Structure 1
């Protein structure tokens, strides 16, 4: 077995792997003087042959297929012959629109048409290769990646050989209007590589091609500007180039120079008298490009040359808007100094202040406000700059905008900045707004509330549904009412299983016994979401949740109708049951597949909060379904313990909030509060 060297190129490993050990040693002396190309060709032939080929034939074949070196400066006669052939093309050649590779290479399979896989790799010597394999993995061909051979003229330009360019263009009369690829003339080659001397030679030989464009519509001047070739730009300007020819995107050389952020290039073009207010295909001018790059020097040059700062692009965006949007403070100051409209609106209604606030540019907002920018102009969505700053969570910008924003205008928008800060969990901005006196109980307008399936309306709801405990605490401490939303925040917190949020809401007056108008029940709706969390369920009962309503059943001991449960789309995480007159009953809800396995413990907890009750036939079915729940039936059987009845009576007369103020022993207080521990303590 041949052991491959990790430094050996993969194609050489494949070659060695295809021959035996003895053959490898036998061939070593024969092939030690071959270069990478010759070894590669040999490997290809051996991989394709059914049997090993003769070494001498292989060497001959490899050498014969090695392409000749490109012509050098001494082969002018060869170039002249090629020129004469191009002047008098054969019928087959006359249909060509641009020069062919020289010398021609054998055509490789078309990767798009090849039925198999085509992969590319590099040899250890840095040569790029391409490999063709059939779908079954068998090798078809390994060959060097095709490289386009340069025409002598184009190669001479690339390397800056001006004397050779002159010989080809002037002495030999090479056709300078013949491209080496679609639209790419020798003059474009010179501008691309910054060969100003070659460019001058070409213009002297053929002045008429100075304004020719590439396939993409780029003039020679635009090519030179795009590649930062200042000397070539100067040569072109001195030779009378049309400096306003745009490409197909309507970008002029001046526009591209501003895009490249090159003051010297811009100065050269402006000194030549180019048009400064030309729009590109998107409606942008050169001043738009400078505004987003914060180049004050170029901006001043454009303004002195007559650039208009009030021109807008196809989206209604002015250069000042662009500077504010991208946070370019220096250019913004300059544009304001020249009288740019700081309250101009884009097509979507946004102002420069709006965009600066949305993007968190604090210095820009400060500057615009110091220049009396109007903070009460809404965007297309109706939001003010204060809204978008709160939405972003920029508390410093929020602080700056509060004094400049009318609270009346905020109310007209139908949404408070508090809503947006709470929705995005921007606690710092939320705190700033609360301290500034924004109403924590402000509700969304009907139109905005309808955008949410649950019809939410308060900032508190946003914080609860985001499970943001800190924000919930801030809002409740500031006086947020937990009972304003149609679907109460307490129900959301219970559904999320967040006992900490539930506790805070209950302590601040959340109605535990509230119902849902769209899904009425005969028992407190919050129980639907807390039955699986017995500690939470018990907490709600301890703090005033009604328990007796859970045992009120219209069927009693009679047979209940069958229930077919379906998943509720309006209340995720719950099962829907057929709604009876007056609402869903507790025994029906507890029969849902996701809850029925908890029926025993739930009923056991409820019995601690009621006196004499009768268990309906459906509840009895659940208790009978598991032998361990038989004690629960005994617990419900009359008579109930006197201590239980007394506890209920005391709670009814005194109320739960006043229990701790009673002059009673601690053990008795805990008993009345349904806490564990001996009563005698």
Structure 2
């Protein structure tokens, strides 16, 4: 659907060609006819004279609409959008009953019978198209009231041009003899009779015109198209032959610098190409984008045309303005036939585009398996990187083409991959290409390869391992594959375990902990006095307890430089945090803060509601501790948490102290092997519920 075109008085020309779609665009021809009839019959406020006038309006509108319906639509008409099926359709559009003729329009009077003069009309002139493709025009006053609506008057075609399109040679001859006929005078911008004949393929008319006025043979339209170019673009072979035999210049281009030969290749017309080449046409002319006829023939995968062009002197090493050669185009498009043909005739298999991409790189990026296989069989270099530094193997891994990855692995140097600063494993993990990831692991790629500093800086979290990519994508299968292959979960600055905890994925957390993830790690850029993973896991109490059960430090959560003294208010703005850091720097070194304290973190509004249960769980993993004043404030905020304060008060039960002592002497994974009753084993493992029931 074309854009709206609304003109105001004084600026609109009567022959405006741009269509505008307004409220009438969804109406069919029948509905428009019905609308015109209704508007002419429902003026109950007018006199008898006005009624008669309205009847004449209805008759005129009906006649205009009916004649417009019967006329043939021009080839340039665009197909309209789908009609609005919700529009009510009258049962008897041509014989409306009094109950059916209820019109609704903004003006109290029906539209005028004759259109206003566009030059003097004060208002808006809008052009639109109906659902069936009929062009309409509407005149409205500044307040929006409708003045006139009717089908646009169609321009009558000049008799000579009508005779040419109909192929009426005798009439063409008769009109040419008319004293007022000037064959060099265009009917439209730059459109001469010779162009009309070429467009409709009327070669006899073309001969007659050229015999009368041979000087117009190379005249061009307003788009720079010669009659020869038009004939080629419409596949009018006989007209092309007539024009060439009459001396038409085959090298005249349109304003996009496309030659008739280029257009013939675009049309995939071998016979047309042969005719043009037989008349000595230049074969290496570049279009406005730098493409040649050979490149267009390759894009069409037409070996016959390619062979004709090469015999006529076409060069296969010419590139367009993007540095793309015909060989590159064949690989990019997946055209194996023309690719074989070009290589057979000496095309450079490793030619690179302006961005450094090779034909192999482009074929791998687009997933063309046959092209990749063929190029590798012809010793294409798999170690040429693109402008981004990536190799064909990288882009194949990112694409997820497992077959192509398998073909590229033996042809790619692992040393060259290391120099790129990124492993195919990273890209496969980032895009969740599990099959490719498995293939790369089986091929021996280092699962602990890290991104170079340049690549790592592209990510705000400074990630570096493929494992991190898998965890942040919440891809459990990829995480399991990488860990099973020996991936180290502690190499990234922001640990994968923290990412999994933040995502709330207990399954990934379990996998990482079982494979040695450091539960007590901190974030260098955001130091804390307690394990940083607690910041992301305390909302999930079962996960929080799991981390404590498997070695998470609990005692550090009760360390506080303020103790039972007053705590400064929590700072939320940057300036307040800077002020707090300055004040802390004045404390003695022994009291200087080492980072965010647990009591500060638990005071965050999003976490403080769970303060009681969190402290309760932590107390099961420590001995004698003193709760700081901030933690006491939290426990005092809810009466149900008073029992937790009692639990923290010294002395701690001897059973709890014994448990801590045993766990300190025996590694946690060995506890279940101790020669103790099952109830005690469960107690040592902090499974109190089972212990109480034994």
Q: TM bucket by the smaller chain?
A: 0.7 to 0.9
- 2:147 is aligned to 140
Pick which of 641-650 and 610-619 moved more: 641-650
Distance (Å, rounded) in 1 between the aligned partners of 2:497 and 2:583: 24
Q: 1:269-668 to 2 correspondence within 5 Å?
A: 269-566=276-573, 581-668=593-680
Partner of 1:266: 273
User: What is aligned with 2:86?
Assistant: none
TM-score, normalised via structure 1 length: 0.84
Supply the RMSD in Å over aligned alpha carbons.
Answer: 3.0
1:121 aligns to what?
130
Cross-structure match for 1:677: 690
Q: Is the 8 A contact 2:128 2:135 kept in 1?
A: no
Assess, with a 3 A threshold, how the Cα gap between structure 1 residues 594 and 142 changes in structure 2: closer, same or farther.
same
What's the CA shift for 1:679? 4.9
Matches within 5 A, 1:31-42: none
Relative to 1, partners in 2 of residues 1:110 and 1:532: Cα closer, same or farther, differing over 3 Å?
Answer: farther
* Contact kept in structure 1, 2:127 and 2:136, CA below 8 Å: no
**C-alpha separation between the residues in 2 aligned to 1:63 and 1:277?**
59
More off after superposition, 231-240 vs 615-624 = 231-240
Deviation at 1:128, TM superposition (A): 4.3
State the distance in 1 between where 2:146 and 2:369 align. 62
Structure 2: gaps (5+ residues): 1-26, 69-113, 576-580, 585-591
CA contact (8 A) 1:551 1:586 kept: yes
Residues 38-96 of structure 1: CA distance to partner in whole angstroms, max 9, x if unpaired?
xxxxxxxx7998886253795499669978x99xxxxxxxxxxxxxxxxxxxxxxxxxx
- Counterparts of 2:583 and 2:451, CA distance in 1: 33
What SS does structure 2 have at the residue aligned with 1:141?
Answer: strand
* Alpha-carbon distance between aligned partners in 1 of 2:352 and 2:131, rounded to the nearest angstrom: 55
Q: Summarize the Cα distance change of 1:454–1:64 in structure 2 as closer, same or farther, 3 Å threshold.
A: closer
Contact 1:170 1:205 in 2 (8 A): no
SS in 1 for 2:174: helix
In 1, distance between residues paired with 2:128 and 2:29? 20
The CA deviation string for residues 576-631 of structure 1, in whole angstroms up to 9 with x for no partner, is 99986211110011111211111111111111111111111000001111111111
Stretches of structure 1 that go unaligned for 5 or more consecutive residues are 21-45, 71-104, 569-575
| Pair 337,630 (structure 1): closer, same or farther in 2 beyond 3 Å | same
User: Shift in Å at residue 427 of structure 1?
Assistant: 1.2
Tell me, yes or no, if the aligned pair for 1:118 and 1:132 is still in contact at 8 Å.
Answer: no
Deviations 1:447-484 (A, max 9, x none): 21112111111111111111111111111111000000
User: TM (normalized to structure 2)?
Assistant: 0.83
Aligned position for 2:20: none
Which stretch of the first structure deviates more once superposed, 445-454 or 114-123? 114-123
Which whole-Å CA distance do the structure 2 matches of 1:365 and 1:222 have between them? Answer: 38
Distance (Å, rounded) in 1 between the aligned partners of 2:583 and 2:434? 42
- 1:607-664 CA-to-partner distances (Å, cap 9, x unmatched) read 1111111111000001111111111111111122222222211111111111122222
- How many residues in Structure 1 have an aligned counterpart in Structure 2? 609
The structure-2 alpha-carbon separation of the partners of 1:617 and 1:577, relative to structure 1 and needing over 3 Å to count, comes to farther
Of 178, 184, 189, which aligns to 1:182? 189
The structure showing larger relative contact order (alpha-carbon pairs under 8 Å, at least 6 residues apart) is 2
Equivalent residue number for residue 101 of structure 2:
none
